[in-house]
Amino acid sequence: MSQCDVGYHRRMARWQPDARGRLEAAAFELFRERGFEQTTVADIAARAGLDKRTFYRLFGDKREALFSGSGHVEEVLVQAVTETDAGPFEAVVAAFRRVAEELFADRLELVRARQAIIESSPELQERELRKTGSLAAAVTAALRARGLDETTATLATESGATVFRVAYARWVAPGSDAPLSDLIAEVAAELRAITSAPTETP
């Protein structure tokens, strides 16, 4: 947490121009070229013109180089949930739609490439799961700050996150063209249909 969403100190900006950013870029390139497991932290550092040890000072982990955006997502999510009066589930869904519009909308290709990398490595999948979980915790906390009880907040968050995941999977899948935000709204409606009808025997 500490070293991961700091960005970089103002002081250091001209000293080493965006070391963190260069490492992220180098990692992304190498992961695409050789795959995650075939890439060494030393390789990444070398391509960025830095040392292995510097990488570990800026990222806690080899995996973290791929997940720097999650801090930003959390900000948007928490703010959106905090600023609305809608019911818990609706608030979370709306927050995810806002993330979709502000952070993902015009980056389909980039997101697809990133997703391909993640899907190629179990380790990265685990990390993504953890990031998602910590995002969820933040959203739940924001909901609770609005006066909701723990269980309601958790259920709303998790349901909203599920909706997002399904919509995201559709969006990232090849051949999709609908905007993510619209997909989220659709999936949310489907969820309601499934959970609200307690009976049905096909």
> Shortest gap between Cβ of 101 and a copy of itself (angstroms)?
21
Confirm if 22 and 48 have CB atoms less than 8 A apart: yes
Q: Is 192 in the site for a copy of itself (CB under 8 A)?
A: yes
Amino acid letter, 181: S
Question: Quick one: CA torsion of 151, 157, 158, 164, rounded to 10 degrees?
Answer: 170
- Residue 29 binds: one of DNA, a copy of itself, none (C-beta under 5 to 8 A by kind): none
DSSP string, 100-164: IIIIITT-HHHHHHHHHHHHT-HHHHHHHHHHHHHHHHHHHHHHHHTT--HHHHHHHHHHHHHHH
| Binder among 147, 174, 175, 177 for a copy of itself (CB under 8 A) | 147
- Judged by CB under 8 A, the chain residues 84 through 103 that form the site for a copy of itself are 85-90
| Binder among 4, 108, 158, 179 for a copy of itself (CB under 8 A) | 158
| Binder among 5, 34, 35, 57 for DNA (CB under 7 A) | 57
Q: Is 15 in the site for DNA (CB under 7 A)?
A: yes
Residue 183's Cβ-count burial label (10 Å; 0-12, 13-18, 19+) is buried
> Shortest gap between Cβ of 154 and a copy of itself (angstroms)?
6
| Binder among 7, 42, 126, 150 for DNA (CB under 7 A) | 42
Q: Which is nearer to a copy of itself, 62 or 127 (CB)?
A: 127
Query: What token pair was written down for 135?
Result: 């995002």
Q: Which stretch binds DNA (CB under 7 A): 44-52, 108-116, 152-160, 184-192?
A: 44-52
Query: What token pair was written down for 35?
Result: 């795959």
Q: Is 61 in the site for DNA (CB under 7 A)?
A: yes
- Residue 41 binds: one of a copy of itself, DNA, none (C-beta under 5 to 8 A by kind): DNA
| d(C-alpha 67, C-alpha 166), whole Å | 20
